[in-house]
Structure 1
Amino acid sequence: MTNLNKEQDRGQWGSKLGFILAAAGSAVGLGNLWKFPYVAGKNGGGAFVLVYIIILFLVGFTLMLAEITLGRHTQVSAIGAYRKIRKKWAWVGALGVLAGFLILSFYSVVGGWVLSYLFKALTGALHVTDAEVLGNMFGGLISSTGTPIIFHAIFMVLNLIIVFGGISGGIEKASKIMMPALFVMIILLALRSVTLPGASEGLKFLFVPDFSVITPTVILDALGQVFFSLSLGMGCMITYGSYLSKDTDIIQSAIAIPVLDTAVALLAGIATLPAVFAFGFEPAAGPGLMFVTLPAVFSQMPLGGLFAVIFFLLVLFAALTSSISLLEVCVAYVVDEWKWKRAKATITMTIIIFLVGIPASLSFGVWEHIKIIGERGFFDTYDFIASNVLLPLGGLLLCIFVGWIWGTDRAVKEATNDGQREFSLASVWVFLIKYLGPLAIGAVFIRSIMAAF
């Protein structure tokens, strides 16, 4: 089979913009819209944002460029990429595929909750001002048996439809629609939030840093948020990079993706925290901010029903742009390693991931009493293994592999298209990937393991 036929089988991005939007979409997900506002709220607002932005460019850009470069150089998915350069390292790619598989199995359960809340917003069921009532509503949803599994299935079918269409015809086409729509919706919500009476306190909290609250915990939380928000360590960017043509400027892409991801995270903070302050709610409300606190906020603002619909549609789009990249990691593995056709690989992996996700859904209800690791049920166990073990370990090993095994000279040569493109910060990037990256990610890894027990 010729290289051309192989490329046609695997697919390629139709344009550089399509790749950037799809890759940014992979990074933009529930971590931006759900986690970033409440983690920022918990860690002092502006101080956390400042530390987050600094770490984003030191660590986020470093690993982003490493993954995309490795994928583009090898033109295969995560396992094959490591194997192609050093056969004994193929297991590192397998960690990424396993992480993507596990994350999607519980991420799609949360995606189902978002779908359910979108329907509730459309029918006016969320027009409740009492946070306690909304808390009971959310608890009732996730602890029931049938409803969350049905929405989990619908969410996986949406992923199946998009990924089934291939790279340019499915993922790229969907990302070109969802990402601009996502930006329009989040800007609308941000504009509405900042025009509420009392919103200025929320903006001050978010953007005026109080340096006295910066602690090692704040720094490590920011580092962890950057790492997990950018979809690093799970093979997504290696896989997406493998569909790039050799003339693509991947340095610009590796800068644009974190910038877009951070823009969404900051806009999410602007869309939520000023509104939370305006109506006297707690900014550090935790995970319940999206499903309990914000519906209560929307219920108290003019045209709140409309903004609730826009918000949950926005969250659905963000969840989908991330989840399709996770499914693609698994599909690309089967296509590349098992030589399956894309259609068979996509349908099979969707069904398996859906089935593995069912225990995660039931772990809040009828299987609540089943504990796997410590006091963790299925959902929390999947999350712990993927987020606390596989992702940071995958990122740490990526730094070691690119910095010391493949070699930074070869990586820079690939990133600059054999020296045809300018990379003035090459020496800085080499230092970051070889030294600072492993130390920073190692700190996150050790802390996450220690905090979990």
Structure 2
Amino acid sequence: MQESREQWGSKMGFLLAAIGSAVGLGNIWRFPYVVYSNGGGAFLIPYFCAIFTAGIPLLILEYGIGHKFKGSTPLSLSRVNKKFEWLGWWPIISSAIILCYYSMILSWSVKYLTLSFNKGWGQDSDTFFYNDFLKLSESPLHFGGIVWPILMGIALIWIINWFICYKGIKAGIEKASKILLPCLLIIMIIIVIRGVTLKGAEVGLNTLFTPNLEKIKDPQVWISAYGQVFFSLSIGTGIMMTYSSYLPPKTDINNSAFMTAFANCGFEFLSAIGVFAILGAMATSQGVSVDEVVTSGIGLAFIAFPKVFTIMGVWGNILGVLFFTCLMFAGITSSVSLVEAISASIIDKFGLKRKKVVTIMCLVGFLISTVFATNAGLYLLDIMDNFINNYGIVVVGLLESFVIGWVLNPNVIRDHTNAISYFKIGKWWNIIIKYITPTLLTLTLIQSLITEFKTPYGGYTLTSLFLFGWSVIAFGIICAVLISKKPWKKEAL
């Protein structure tokens, strides 16, 4: 028998969980580089345009659907229109894949946290990361063996995911969010305060925020802004619809969307200040320009920053511990939200008990994640992440706006959220959902495809890109369609 639907204990608990989902690794290691490489301070113009014309409207859309139709993403979209149930399952399949490789990155963070106490990566953090730690194979097609420290870290992350989600919404996710998110913010503030007081910090901050207004004329900069906002807010992953379905009947949806977006935005800027202050200090100590030390993603977190910590004496040990704890906390709040989005969908579809679903899901997830603990793990992560983000998630967002804008009628969602919200959204929201968001996401998608076909991603072979990229997208769609054909095990519709 289906369990009665749980609810958040408070609106603040929901907001902390939603913000925790949005604040992930990308805020810390992707956003600073995106700002730097797209015009510095001038990037703020397209960035805020993207927040108001895509980020917040799509958050209102996903919050509104989840709250009105009271179900996980597949159930809510099935209640909108049975033909689109598959569109609810596709992001859930994508989220399951993301969760498996996300656990690997968090495993790295666990290991580097332990290394931070004695700077165990040595003098050459580059060689240590690729050769000594990952034992990276020569290509994605050469899996090699299991890297045991990574596998043990993955197991720990899945145990944490299981422990939090097993306890449910109020006692598990809400309680964890109330602890992890404030801790995350405090740690980042400490990193920023120490970062901006380092010698050379101002060089990094000037490099970051000096506006290059010429860049605003470049369409690619605008596409980068929309991409950053879209990926950063957990839109198109099935999370926000699921989370909002646990809200009480009378909750200010519109205000919640604005608060989530701006809290996430604030954390991104805080991270950017901390990251570039530290990179400025590194460049000054080496007598080179910031351009020569700046990087993003895995290179920033596991190569560039360890280099900085190595030359910082005792403060290097302290900042190293704080930084990798920060990565862990940001990652755990996001991974827990992915577990919940997936398990809620299975619970709704098959009428199973939460504890059974979460336990089986975490066991199966761990087993699948072992492939990322092989010597080819980094390659698989790189290819899958590129394809899921650039094609899977963007297309889901595009189709969601189409379904609400052209099939359901945006007034249905707007009237629902306005009826329970202090701040009312006007007809502008309908125009954005029907015309602006689909147009912008279509342009982003076309640009990604053009780039992909001009230059195969990452210099990988076409075989590797087909096996771990295009096939993953196709797998998600096929599984989504097949699952949607199965009947619901409860009187849901």
Partner AA of 2:249 in structure 1: K
Among 293, 307, 312, the alignment partner of 1:296 is: 307
2:19 is equivalent to residue 28 of structure 1: no
Distance in 2 of aligned mates of 1:124 and 1:284: 21
Which one of 334, 351, 357 corresponds to residue 345 of structure 1?
357
Alignment pair present for 1:80 and 2:75: yes
AA in 2 matched with 1:322: S
Instruction: State the Cα distance separating 1:147 from its structure 2 match.
Output: 1.7
| Matched-pair contact (CA < 8 Å) for 2:147–2:375 | no
Find out whether 1:220 has 2:223 as its counterpart: yes
Partner of 2:181: 179
Query: Which of 118, 134, 139 is the aligned partner of 2:125?
Result: 134
Distance change >3 Å, CA 74–CA 149, structure 1 → 2: same
Q: How does 1:262-281 map to 2 (within 5 A)?
A: 262-280=265-283, 281=290
Other-structure match for 1:374: none
C-alpha deviation, 1:446, in angstroms: 2.0
Residue equivalent to 1:284: 294
SS in 2 for 1:232: coil
Partner of 1:48: 43
Q: Give the 3-state SS of the residue equivalent to 1:76 in structure 2.
A: coil
- CA distance in structure 2 between the aligned counterparts of 1:57 and 1:297, rounded to whole angstroms: 36
Q: How far off its partner does 1:363 sit?
A: 5.3
- Taking only aligned residues, the RMSD between alpha carbons, in angstroms, comes to 1.9
Q: Which residue of 1 aligns with 2:373?
A: 361
Contact preservation (8 Å) 2:390, 2:448: yes
Partner of 2:4, secondary structure, is helix
Unpaired segments ≥5 residues, structure 1: 369-376
Equivalent residues of 1:24, 1:260 under 8 A apart: yes
TM-score, normalised via structure 2 length: 0.84
CA distance in 2, matches of 1:10, 1:316: 30
> Could you tell me how far apart the structure 2 residues matched to 1:198 and 1:381 are?
36
CA distance in 1, matches of 2:234, 2:312: 34
Task: Report which stretch shifted further, 147-156 or 232-241.
Answer: 147-156
CA distance in 2, matches of 1:352, 1:382: 19
- 1:162–1:171 CA contact under 8 A, matched in 2: yes
**Which consecutive segments of 4 or more residues in structure 1 shift more than 6 A?**
none
Determine which of 193, 199, 202 is the counterpart of 2:201.
Answer: 199
Are 2:6 and 1:15 aligned? no
CA-CA distance at 1:168 after TM superposition: 0.8
Could you give the per-residue CA deviations for residues 118-148 of structure 1, whole angstroms, max 9, x where no partner exists?
Answer: 111134424x5x4xx1011111322362221
Supply the distance in 2 between the matched residues of 1:54 and 1:197 (Cα, whole angstroms).
Answer: 35
- Equivalents in 1 of 2:293, 2:39: separation in Å? 10
User: Does structure 1 conserve the Cα–Cα contact (< 8 Å) formed by 2:36 and 2:209?
Assistant: no
Structure-1 residue corresponding to 2:102: 107
Q: What letter is aligned with 2:294?
A: A
Shift of the 381–278 alpha-carbon distance from structure 1 to 2, 3 Å rule, reads closer
Where 1:417 maps in the other structure, the secondary structure is helix
Q: Tell me which amino acid in the other structure corresponds to 2:359.
A: I
CA deviation map 1:29-54 (0-9, x unaligned): 01101211223333343233442233
Contact 2:282 / 2:293 at 8 angstroms: preserved in 1?
no
Work out the CA distance in 1 between the residues paired with 2:116 and 2:39: 31
**For each residue in 1:341-378, what CA deviation from the matched residue of structure 2 results, as whole angstroms up to 9, or x when unmatched?**
1111101111222222222332526xx8xxxxxxxx53
Q: CA deviation at 1:202?
A: 1.9
Letter in 2 for 1:359: V
Q: Distance in 2 between matches of 1:41 and 1:147?
A: 34
> Closer, same or farther in 2 for the Cα pair 1:124/1:283, shift >3 Å?
closer
TM-score computed with the length of structure 1 as normaliser: 0.91
Aligned match for 2:242, one of 239, 259, 263: 239
Is contact 1:49-1:206 (8 Å) kept? no
CA distance in 1, matches of 2:232, 2:241: 16
Q: Name the SS of the counterpart of 2:250 in structure 1.
A: coil
Q: Say whether residues 1:393 and 2:395 are aligned partners.
A: yes
Q: Name the SS for the 1:13 alignment partner.
A: coil
Give the equivalent residue in structure 1 for 2:384. Answer: 382
Other-structure match for 1:39: 34
1:193–1:274 contact (8 Å) kept in structure 2: yes
1:313 and 2:304 equivalent? no
CA distance in 2, matches of 1:379, 1:397: 25
Q: Distance in 2 between matches of 1:283 and 1:150?
A: 32
- Which residue number corresponds to residue 445 of structure 1? 445
Look up the SS of the partner of 1:9 in the other structure: coil
2:98–2:385 CA contact under 8 A, matched in 1 = yes
Query: For each residue in 1:252-282, what CA deviation from the matched residue of structure 2 results, as whole angstroms up to 9, or x when unmatched?
Result: 1000111111111111111111210122153
Q: What's the secondary structure of 1:243's corresponding residue?
A: coil
Q: Which amino acid aligns with 1:257?
A: T
Q: CA deviation at 1:283?
A: 5.2
